[in-house]
Amino acid sequence: MYEAMTTSPLDLDIELLESLDALAATPMDGPGQQAWSNFSQGAQHTVQAVSDGYNGNWSGAATHGIQAVEHFGTAGYNAYQWYNGGH
């Protein structure tokens, strides 16, 4: 028998994002700071895409999914630059 959920399936994801926001606030310079910022934005768009999909808003889910991929890609590039000493 189907039982209604009493909590949002995204509760844990939101808690994860709050801790990521704290990490993103960690002082870094140049590409390292940008990488954290882009990663945080990518994670936020991922959560929004899942939420939109869960609610049947497929257009919103696709839009946020694309934005998440873009932010994660930029985060990867900036992390690579930071790792190799770029400032």
Kindly report, residue by residue over 27-80, the tens digit of the pLDDT: 567 888 899 999 999 999 999 999 999 999 999 999 999 999 999 999 999 999
Q: Where are the domains of the chain?
A: 31-87
* Cβ neighbourhood burial of 68 (10 Å; 0-12, 13-18, 19+): buried
Copy the structure tokens of residue 17: 């994002």
- N-to-C CA span, the chain: 57
What tens digit of pLDDT does each residue of 5-32 get?
Answer: 555 555 556 666 666 666 555 556 788 8
Q: Are 37 and 14 in contact (CB under 8 A)?
A: no
* Nearest to 49, CA basis, from 32, 75, 71, 33: 71
CA distance linking residue 80 with residue 14, whole number of Å: 27
